[in-house]
């Protein structure tokens, strides 16, 4: 029996986590290592304490500062696309939020660069990730639309807030064949996965999802 076998996983993880993993599998998440990582990650540590009893439910939840952590299926879909299509070198995440998606990315990528515009969320996520010994993440407090402060080519970019247009700095830093995951709101609110092909973008998948808006500038609090 292997820890990446779903039946083994369901039997050996906490009941509430096991239920979340089984539900994700039913909803089309088939990457067993991803399911194992999500099954082993304490999602209740990433949400506002008053909502921790709902942390493994199929719902977005408050993380403070009027922001939300996406529901497990959305996090799993975005991660699965990256695992299927991206080189596991460097990934840039816009919208650190609670750091939950960051922690999952850190398991699979050599290096995660993540940017958050709200100072208090940035500080909290940075501390939380350090306590969990997630060491291959660099957190930055700033407006993610400007990209990473140093010019570094990325294998993937994941934007976890809804933009009205794609910030150029975020597509420019992607390597050829790099993967872009971002929400779009037209014709309907959804999340999509694209591959950079010269000046073109090849769409590799879309799925319905809702996100908080990508905002300008930074906020101190």
**Residues annotated catalytic, as ranges:** 70
Of 55, 82, 106, 143, the one binding ligand SAH by CB under 6 A: 143
**How is the beta sheet containing 154-159 ordered, strand by strand?**
137-141, 111-116, 90-94, 154-159, 174-184, 190-197, 200-208
Q: Which of 56, 81, 100, 109 is in the footprint of ligand SAH by CB under 6 A? A: 100
Do residues 136 and 109 make contact, with C-beta atoms less than 8 angstroms apart? Answer: yes
- The region that residue 137 occupies, defined by phi over 0 for left and psi between -120 and 50 for alpha, beta otherwise, is beta
Query: Cβ-count burial of 23 within 10 angstroms (0-12 exposed, 13-18 middle, 19+ buried)?
Result: middle
Closer to ligand SAH by CB, 193 or 214: give it. 214
Residues 6+ apart with CB under 8 A from 117: 141, 142, 143, 144, 215, 217, 218, 219
| Residue (66 or 135) nearer to ligand SAH, CB | 66
Among 24, 34, 73, 121, binds ligand SAH (CB under 6 A): 121
Q: Which of residues 61-80 bind ligand SAH (CB under 6 A)?
A: 63, 67-70
Taking CA atoms, 186 is separated from 36, 67, 95, in Å, by 33, 22, 21
**Interaction of residue 148 with ligand SAH, rule CB under 6 A:** no
Q: Determine which residue in the list 145, 154, 180, 184 makes contact with ligand SAH, applying CB under 6 A.
A: 145
Number of residues forming the site for ligand SAH (CB under 6 A): 24
Q: How far is the CB of 52 from ligand SAH (least distance, A)?
A: 14
**x/- string (CB under 6 A) for ligand SAH, residues 11-50?**
----------------------------------------
- Minimum Å distance from CB 100 to ligand SAH? 4
Q: How far is the CB of 125 from ligand SAH (least distance, A)?
A: 8
Closer of 62 and 89 to ligand SAH (Cβ): 62
Q: Is 139 in the site for ligand SAH (CB under 6 A)?
A: no
Residues that bind ligand SAH (CB under 6 A): 63, 67-70, 94-95, 97-98, 100-101, 115-118, 121, 143-145, 160-161, 212, 214-215
């Amino acid at each position: 029996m292997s820890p990446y076998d779903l039946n083994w996983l369901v039997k050996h993880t906490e009941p509430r986590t096991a239920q979340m993993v089984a539900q994700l599998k039913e909803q089309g998440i088939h990457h067993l290592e991803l399911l194992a990582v999500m099954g082993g990650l304490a999602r209740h540590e990433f949400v506002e304490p008053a909502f921790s009893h709902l942390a493994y439910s199929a719902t977005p939840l408050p993380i403070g500062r009027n922001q939300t952590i996406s529901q497990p299926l959305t996090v799993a879909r975005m991660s699965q696309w990256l695992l299927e299509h991206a080189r596991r070198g460097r990934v840039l995440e816009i919208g650190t939020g609670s750091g939950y998606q960051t922690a999952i990315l850190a398991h699979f990528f050599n290096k995660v660069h993540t940017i958050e515009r709200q100072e208090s969320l940035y500080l909290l996520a940075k501390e939380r990730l350090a306590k969990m010994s997630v060491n291959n993440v660099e957190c930055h407090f700033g407006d993610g639309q400007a990209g990473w402060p140093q010019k570094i080519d990325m294998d993937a970019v994941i934007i976890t807030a809804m933009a009205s247009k794609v910030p150029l700095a975020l597509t420019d830093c992607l390597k050829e064949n790099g993967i872009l995951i971002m929400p779009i709101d037209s014709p309907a609110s959804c999340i999509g996965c694209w591959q950079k092909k010269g000046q073109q973008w090849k769409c590799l998948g879309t799925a319905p999802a809702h996100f908080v808006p990508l905002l300008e500038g930074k906020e101190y609090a």
